[in-house]
Amino acid sequence: MLAGAMTALITPFRDGRLDDARLKQQVERQIKGGVSGVVPVGTTGESPTVSVEEHGRVIEQTVKIAAGRVKVIAGTGANATSEAIELHRHAKSVGADACLSVNPYYNKPSQEGLFRHFMTLSDAVDLPIVLYNIPGRTGITMSAATVARLHKSGNFVAIKEATGSLDLASEIRTMCDITILSGDDSLTLPLMSVGATGVISVLSNLLPEVVSDMVARFRKADIVGAEALHRKYFQLTRSLFFDGNPAGIKCAMQLAGLDTGEMRLPIVEVSEGTRTTIAGHLKTLGIIQ
């Protein structure tokens, strides 16, 4: 079972190119910070803007750097089933532990289309699949019934829930025993209260120790301690998404001296107002001076 804090890694760029040295530093920092897994080239990793070659290289390098010390769940989703199959095959070939496969975006398939898409992936590549429900990005929500149908039929080990709906997570829990992972940092504790086992986190790029500690406290029934951490970092967490992801987290990482802050169009830097807000929270929390 996947559990704990897993980091949706940013993809580091320098002068428009992948920054391999920075990627190594970031993965090592995550491992040192106590996360249970890393997720390269997902939404936070700017997967829509990297080339196929870059996408594969980030996954391969992450697997090599992690060297079995934490799980690597490779972002391999695509809106074309054929492309997703190729990404899944690559992740399998380089040794990823599982893959994160988002609902096909833009196409807005039916529930039957979603089922056939994911079953085709499961049948084509023997690699555990983490489903990814994020209608704000894809325009489609996978229903609890479809999740349960997939879990019964194929190699689907978890679902990353980023719908913002506790009811949907609860409905999934009533229909099957698939592992649920939070896909929204601000909702991690609420989702864990209805059965989620952890989070695929954006915030942990910056604060792996904090997110790992919060999730571990909740799993050990230290609800008071977990909620205190949730409350302490809540305002910062919310501010990271004011101008979209990964613009906010890359701004915070840059302010903390942990990344260049570079992104690729059409993602651009946060507004001055948001940057000031993020910087203010970082100062209040003692993360920067």
pLDDT, one tens digit per residue, over 28-43 is 999 999 999 999 999 9
- Closest Cα partner for 24 from 63, 51, 56? 63
pLDDT of residue 46 exceeding 90, the answer is yes
Q: What is the pLDDT of residue 101?
A: 98
Joined together, the tokens standing for residue 288 give 């920067």
Q: What is the pLDDT of residue 1?
A: 80
Average pLDDT (59-82) is 98
Average pLDDT (85-97) is 98
pLDDT of residue 172 exceeding 90, the answer is yes
17-18 and 13-14 strand pairing: antiparallel
Q: What is the pLDDT of residue 163?
A: 98
Active site includes 106? Answer: no
pLDDT of residue 178 exceeding 90, the answer is yes
pLDDT of residue 255 exceeding 90, the answer is yes
Kindly name the residue from 71, 92, 160, 250 that is annotated as catalytic.
160
Element spanning 157, H or E? strand 156-161
Angle at 30 between CA 26 and CA 33, to 5 degrees: 135
Whole-number percent of the chain with pLDDT over 70: 100
Q: What is the pLDDT of residue 25?
A: 98
Joined together, the tokens standing for residue 93 give 């070939």
Active site includes 132? Answer: yes
Burial of 137 from C-beta contacts in 10 A (0-12 / 13-18 / 19+) = middle
pTM over 0.95: yes
Burial of 117 from C-beta contacts in 10 A (0-12 / 13-18 / 19+) = buried
Kindly name the residue from 71, 132, 233, 250 that is annotated as catalytic.
132
Q: How confident is the model at residue 139 (pLDDT cuts 50, 70, 90)?
A: very high
CA distance 187 to 174: 19
Mean pLDDT over the full length of the chain? 97
Average pLDDT (235-248) is 98
Count other Cβ atoms within 10 Å, centred on residue 123.
Answer: 12
Q: What is the pLDDT of residue 154?
A: 82
Which architecture does CATH list for 4-220?
Alpha-Beta Barrel (3.20)
pLDDT of residue 113 exceeding 90, the answer is yes
